Amino acid sequence: MEYKTWLDTSLDLNANPFQPREEEAPVLKKEKKEVQSNFIELGRKQHPANEETGALVEELNRVSAENKKLTDMLTEMCENYNALRSHLMDYMRKNPEKEVSPSKKRKSQSSNNDSNNNNNNIGVNGNSESSSTDEDSCKKPREEIIKAKISRAYVRTEASDTSLVVKDGYQWRKYGQKVTRDNPCPRAYFKCSFAPSCPVKKKVQRSVEDQTILVATYEGEHNHPHPSKLEAPSGSNRSMTLGSVPCSASLHSSGPTITLDLTKSKPNSDAKSPSRRIDTPEFQQFLVEQMASSLTKDPNFTAALAAAVSGRIYHQNPTEKW
DNA sequence: CGCTTTTGACCCGCGC
DNA sequence: GCGCGGGTCAAAAGCG
């Protein structure tokens, strides 16, 4: 799936079902429409409808229970994700040398890469800034090292996603693409759309070992605020946008996929927005809502949801697990 | 019409 | 000096 848009909508899966939101799942919307039309129907027929009302209440309770169940599943998925992520972080800390396939072609570049590997790639967010090694300090003028701060981000995408788009909240303008020798997948070159005032560049290329992983290399630092901070989401949405936490969720035959782009956990932005720390309950709740929102936009998910609501999904394939 | 993307050409550093 | 390969430029095409 391509990260075409920011996930800035929310779906109250466990919220009051009587207050429909704009972008709720079509299936649920349809059910509620039926319920509403049934109420209208009741008003027109003008006869005591205790039985029908009872049935409708029962139906609503059932739908609410389904919503609750789905919310629980999403919460569980979120927790599993956090656990996996922490494991991955631990693993990467212990095995930093396994993260990239270093290019041995060019001396200066490979020495840069080596220093990056040793100093930078401490996590999937990859935004640890490079610090110059002693070797680099000897070879390069200090100013140059300071000017070109290099960081790396690893973003898992789906196999079907052939784009080289790594959503990190900033706007980028592609200025080139090249097939390199070490990797059959083309490398895309991006400049920050605020250029030339913002000198940041980024290179995006698929990993040789796992082509579902996009390796984004950032050069330099943004000299402007994060675009998501400029957008003022006052009112329309629940609380805040997910601009700083791009994520994508989808459902496939092989199972659900939730992809989080964690490249935005820069120390700067974290320091500026402590309320968005990933470990806060508020953030967790928000994350669940955003994932739910994303899921409801996926036609596969809505189809599966429809099957689940009608109680058929487990009968059709009782062994299949999400 | 303006912005973005594509893509071939060009530039430049490095190794031989 | 030459060739190779990565990085960048810029005209053309695409798109909203």
Nucleotides of B under 7 A from a protein CB: 4-9, 13-15
Residue nearest to nucleotide C8 (CA to C1'): A176
Categorise residue A255: left if φ over 0, alpha if ψ from -120 to 50, beta otherwise: left
Distance from C-alpha of A154 to C-alpha of A23, rounded to nearest angstrom: 31
The answer to whether residue A178 scores a pLDDT higher than 60 is yes
Cα torsion through A107, A112, A114, A115, rounded to 10: 140
Percent of chain A past pLDDT 90, that is, above it, reads 0
Residue of A264, A205, A242, A262 whose CA lies nearest to A89: A262
Run of H or E residues at A188: strand A186-192
* Cα A221 to Cα A198: distance, rounded to the nearest angstrom: 8
Is the distance from CB of A197 to CB of A240 less than 8 angstroms? Answer: no
Say how far apart CA A302 and CA A96 lie, in whole Å.
Answer: 40
In angstroms, the CA of A232 and the C1' of B12 are apart by 44
State both tokens at A61: 């309770």
Banded pLDDT at A119 (limits 50, 70, 90):
very low
pTM above 0.75, yes or no: no
Average pLDDT, chain A: 54
- Residue type (1 letter), A113: N
Q: Kindly report, residue by residue over A219-244, the tens digit of the pLDDT.
A: 877 777 666 554 444 333 333 333 33
**Which helix (H) or strand (E) segment is A93 a member of?**
helix A50-94
Which nucleotide is at minimal CA–C1' distance from A191? C8
CA of A193 to C1' of B2 (A): 15
- Minimum mean pLDDT among A59-68, A184-193, A306-315: which range? A306-315
Lowest mean pLDDT among A145-154, A172-181, A196-205, A244-253: A244-253
Quickly give A259 CA vs C9 C1' distance in Å: 35
User: What is the mean predicted confidence (pLDDT) over A75-88?
Assistant: 69
Residues with CB under 7 A from strand C: A 103, 105-106, 109, 175-176, 178-182, 187, 189, 201, 203
Tell me the C-alpha to C-alpha distance, in Å, between residue A170 and each of A5, A7, A146, A220, A258.
12, 14, 22, 13, 21
Q: Which of residues 181-210 of A touch strand B (CB under 7 A)?
A: 188, 193
CA distance A260 to A294: 12
Contact (CB, 8 A) for A7 and A237: no
Rounded to an integer, the average pLDDT of A278-304 is: 50
Residue A250, SS3 per DSSP = strand
Cβ of A312 less than 7 A from strand B: no
pLDDT band at A73; cut points 50, 70, 90: confident
A45 sits within 7 Å of strand B by its CB: no
Distances (CA, A) of A194 to A129, A146, A179, A198, A216: 21, 20, 26, 5, 18
